[in-house]
Amino acid sequence: MKKKYDANKKASEVVKPEPNKSKEESGKGVSTGTGFFISNDGYVLTNSHVIEGSTSISIIQKGKSVSATLVDHDPNNDIALLKIDKSVKGLPIELKKKTKQGTDIAVLGYPNIGLQGNEQKATFGHINANSGIQGDTRYFQISSPIQSGNSGSPMVNDQGVVIGIASASLNQTAALETTGTLAQNVNYAVKIAYALPMLISHAVEYIESTEPKPLEKTKLIDSISDSVVLVVAK
């Protein structure tokens, strides 16, 4: 029988920002993640670890770079709020209805741009559980695949409403030491409700869900794609 896993070891790991190797070699340390518009006046949500340690942040929208300001960040819940000076299309968020186990989801973002290119990538799955590693209720466990660079990607339901922010994967070393096998597609997204205090404190005019009808996958992605951006942190 395998020894019990030491609770002090890290059992989950963030979906790391994608490093830009050419910039790293020149000492500039550029990395990328994903963000999404949370209001129509230019507020952007992403993960705190995407912008951690950076002195300059920008977003890429439709191939154009726009300077972004860091408004606030919450490392404990891995959430950061950015702002650009531009009118945009914000995504609605779900705050009233509890998301149930088994709910269909989609994640849209910019994983591994150095290998996969700059086009948005969509993955699909469902909610596996309403808690994360070791029962952490701030997170959903999800089956939708996520990679480096997906940090900060919006996780939406089949109506195109944001219910979470893709942020972490189960640590494979922890899984191997605990169970003797590698984890299969165990990922996590922080629940959007944990961004609410930050949004309220900065008077962000976020958009609540109006219970739209479910969309088939191609229309779903079309409905959110213009609101999902590449985040570049230096």
222 catalytically annotated? no
Catalytic pick from 31, 78, 148, 209? 78
Largest CA distance in the chain: 59
- Indicate the residue type of 192: I
Ordered alpha helix ranges (H), the chain: 21-25, 48-51, 113-116, 172-179, 196-201, 217-224
Query: What residues form DSSP beta bridges with 60?
Result: 65, 230
Catalytic pick from 31, 48, 49, 58? 49
Catalytic pick from 12, 39, 48, 151? 151
Nearest to 229 by CA among 80, 30, 32: 32
The answer to whether 51 and 233 have CB atoms below 8 angstroms apart is yes
The answer to whether 80 and 69 have CB atoms below 8 angstroms apart is no
The answer to whether 78 and 48 have CB atoms below 8 angstroms apart is yes
Q: Which H or E element spans position 31?
A: strand 31-37
Q: Residue 98: helix, strand or coil by DSSP?
A: coil
78 catalytically annotated? yes
Going by their DSSP bridges, the two strands 162-170 and 187-191 should be labelled as antiparallel
The residues that are catalytic are 49, 78, 151
